[in-house]
Structure 1
Amino acid sequence: MEQQDIRLPKYLKILAILLLIIAIVFIMIIGRNLLIPLLLAGYISALLTPISDWLESKKFPRTLSSIIALLTGLISILGILTFIGLQVASFTRDLDNVGDKLNTYLEDIDGYISDKFSIETGLKNGIDNESIIELLETNSGSVADVIFSTLGSLTSFLLLTVFIFFFLLFRSHLTQFVAMIFHRHDPENVKAEIRELKKVVQKYIIGVFKVMAILAVVNTAVLFGLGIKHAVFFGVFAGILNIIPFLGPFLGAILPTIFAFLTKDSLWYPFGVVISFQIIQIIESNFLTPKIVGSNVNLNAFITFLGLMVGSAIWGIAGMIVIIPTLALLREIFTLDESTKAFALLFGEEERDKDKKKT
């Protein structure tokens, strides 16, 4: 007996999609302590998979290769965190006279307004130095706080570690599971598509890290050239924040600009920081990212911005970090079936779609 396809009215389909979106958002909110480490572990394990594959090609057992790859990743993460912690500690020890400098500027501003407009602003009273130092210390530790608070919100760092290990250990098993779900398709084709999706994630993450490293070096060199103290800290800070599209470069330029304003005798220094970082950002967005990250994401600006807002609202900083590779992965998945290619078109860049039409 042949099965008949059930055709639902359009309004019921729309209602079903809306209910599905609501259910997904609800699950994301309720299960954030499990889903965030699960997603991060998936991306990190995809990044470490080549190490494990190489070790297995040298006749290492799967368990041992997974442990070595995991330890390599953990040592790298801990090394980055240690470096950031040392830079933050060095920076916070050099904030003694920033309050006096700010109060001098406030007095000048108050005198100018009083002379020109005969208005008493009260700025000449200044700001308490301890409050200024506390504010700068809080903001200067934000990059470390982002990482540590993100890891701390993942139920535990151990949970993330366990997930990474199991993803590495059972990656072939999970691939076979997905192939069995799509049993109507050729299993080898399904496995090939899964391998391609892994490559998309790997290339995107590696590309992002390359851009971050280049920006950290360039930012540091520029700040050194301008004579800004703690150039390494500010350069690395701005490079790491570049992982957040749109907002990251802006946030990364704020702290060195304020520090230059408070520690230098001329306004040309903070102005130079702003101009330099703007030029670097133009080069990054128009040359570095397109050439290095390339076509591994292909998300249009609207979907990227909307994804960042949704990720931030639901999962905070961690959501802003994982949302872009997740959307890129979804876009690739949507291209696999005719029924979902419309969503891939919605997620994709307009120029790429026009090129397809021409061909």
Structure 2
Amino acid sequence: MTSDKNKLQLPTHLKVLSVLLLIIVIVFILILGKNLLIPLFLAGYISALLVPMGNWLERKKISRVLSAVISMLTAVLGILGLLTFIALQVASFSRDLGNVGERLNKYLEDLEVFLSDKLKIETGIGKGIDQDYLIGLLQDNSRSVADFIFGTLGSLTSFVLLIVFMFFFLLYRDHLTRFISHLFKDHDPEKVENEIKNLRKVIQKYIIGVMKVMAILAVLNTGILFGFGIKHAIFFGVLAGVLNIIPFLGPFLGAILPTIFAFLTKDSLWYPVGIVIAFQVIQLIESNFLTPKIVGSNVNLNAFVTFLGLMVGAAIWGIAGMIIIIPTLAVLRQIFELNEATLPFALLLGEERENQT
């Protein structure tokens, strides 16, 4: 009893202030260590995904070092293959913008006639715009798609760090697990190790589920665009599937590029309208069937926390932050559920439970 009485009890306002200061310090560290922490986080999640492959190789009597190298190279080849495909598609897309200026000027002339005849408004937009400037602008924007993909890591140095971190995470995965279990001396080490393995499984199921959804969406989007006769259908379809990893914003960004391209390259407005409707239907299927069935409740974050996390992640780390923040919040929610003291934070991050009244 005396030990409880001798404990220092801070006033409520000082507790709130200390929490705010802690948040400020964490955000400052995240911003300052961006070039190191982004590949570290990404390597951690990719390594968690590669652990089953490493375990399988070791069961085949392959050493830990060699299994880590094989698993790491498999992931690197997959990443490089995706980036190479997107880069080639972007280059092809950029070269196919020659007639965009003429079509856009024609639309502007038609709009000028409509406004002048029907509404008696003179805007001057019928004069058109400089085509060379437009093509240059579109090419710059198309190159920004490549920047979007390659800019996730930030630099070649970050990519090299990603490879190195993946190797060491795979090599010392058991060692790190034992370290964390000994860090919590007040808990049963075996229980802590099981919880760490469960967290690893949460990450694995989430990433695998998201990749399955992305692949299905890429096929559906590509099929729809092929049906409409849109050039570069594979590029637009795969890009829309990849962008779906970003909640809320990803589906919009994935649909707007093929819609604009169809508007500027097709003779009828029914093509962009049809693409918008088709992508909306696909998005409804994804949100109401694919994601709940495939990804399931592995994340189970409420919409407000997800949206706020995306904004914070984008403000701190840009696109990489938007990708990393969702599985990070999911892991935090799982960790908060392990202790009664932090259970309210898990409830805050999770979905609202239906009233049982």
Return the TM-score normalized by structure 2. 0.96
CA distance in 1, matches of 2:13, 2:70: 53
Corresponding residue for residue 129 of structure 1:
131
- Structure 2 residue corresponding to 1:310, chosen from 312, 335, 350: 312
Q: Which residue of 1 aligns with 2:31?
A: 29
Asked whether the equivalents of residues 154 and 160 of structure 1 are also in contact (C-alpha less than 8 Å), the reply is no
| 2:141 corresponds to 1:139 | yes
Q: CA RMSD in A?
A: 1.6
User: Residue 119 of structure 1: CA displacement?
Assistant: 2.6
Query: 1:83 is matched with which residue: 75, 82, 85?
Result: 85
Q: Distance in 2 between matches of 1:3 and 1:60?
A: 54
CA distance in 2 between counterparts of 1:138 and 1:250 reads: 20
Contact 1:38 1:163 in 2 (8 A): yes
Unaligned runs of 5+ in 1: none
In structure 2, how many angstroms separate the alpha carbons of the residues matched to 1:22 and 1:152? Answer: 24
Could you tell me how far apart the structure 1 residues matched to 2:294 and 2:146 are? 26
Q: How many angstroms apart in 2 are the aligned matches of 1:292 and 1:142?
A: 31
Equivalent position amino acid for 1:162 in 2: V
Which residues in structure 2 correspond to 1:169-248 (within 5 Å)? 169-248=171-250
| One of 93, 96, 99 as aligned partner of 1:94 | 96
Q: TM-score, normalised by structure 1?
A: 0.95
The residue type paired with residue 160 of structure 2 is: L
C-alpha displacement at 1:154, in angstroms?
7.3
Counterpart position of 2:49: 47
CA distance in 1, matches of 2:153, 2:23: 27
| Inter-partner Cα distance in structure 2 for 1:17 and 1:145 | 37
- Please say if residues 47 and 202 of structure 1, whose CA atoms lie closer than 8 Å, have aligned partners that are also in contact: yes
Give the alignment partner of residue 322 of structure 2, picking from 298, 320, 323.
Answer: 320
- Asked if the contact 1:140–1:255 (Cα under 8 Å) also holds between the matched residues in 2, the reply is no
- Tell me the residue number matched to 1:159: 161
Over 3 Å counting, the alpha-carbon distance change for 1:199 and 1:61 in structure 2 is same
Matched with 1:335 is: 337
Q: Which amino acid aligns with 1:330?
A: L
Distance 2:129 2:244 in 1: 32
How many Å apart are 1:153 and its aligned residue?
4.1
Q: Match for 1:213: what amino acid?
A: A
Deviation, 1:89, is: 1.8
Q: What is the one-letter code of the residue matched to 2:111?
A: I
2:106 to 101, 104, 107: 104
Asked if structure 2 preserves the Cα contact closer than 8 Å seen for 1:66 and 1:169, the reply is yes
TM-superposition CA deviations, 1:278-306 (whole Å, max 9, x none): 11111101110111110100000000000
Report the equivalent of 2:350: 348
Over 3 Å counting, the alpha-carbon distance change for 1:143 and 1:205 in structure 2 is farther
Structure 2 stretches lacking a partner, 5+ long: none
Q: Displacement of 1:3 after TM fit?
A: 4.2
- Deviation string for 1:57-88 (max 9, x for gaps)? 11111111100000000011111111111211
Q: Secondary structure at the match of 1:151?
A: coil
CA contact (8 A) 2:35 2:154 kept: no
Deviation at 1:199? 0.4
1:286 maps to which residue? 288
Q: Which amino acid aligns with 1:233?
A: F
Bigger drift between 336-345 and 126-135 goes to 126-135
**For the residues of structure 2 that align with 1:2 and 1:32, how far apart are their CA atoms?**
46
Is 93-102 or 141-150 further displaced after alignment? 141-150
How big is the shift at 1:156?
A: 2.7
**Cα distance in 1 for residues equivalent to 2:238 and 2:143:** 12
- Deviation of residue 36 (structure 1)? 0.8
* Residues 164-209 of structure 1, C-alpha deviations (whole Å, 9 max, x = no match): 1111111111101100110111000000000000000111111111
Q: Could you tell me whether the CA contact under 8 Å between 1:99 and 1:133 is conserved in 2? A: yes
Taking only the aligned residue pairs, the percentage that are identical comes to: 70
Find out whether 1:73 has 2:75 as its counterpart: yes
Q: Distance in 1 between matches of 2:38 and 2:339?
A: 27
Give the direction of change, closer, same or farther, for the CA distance of 1:354–1:114 in structure 2 (3 Å limit). Answer: closer
Residue 132 of structure 1: how far off its partner (Å) = 2.0
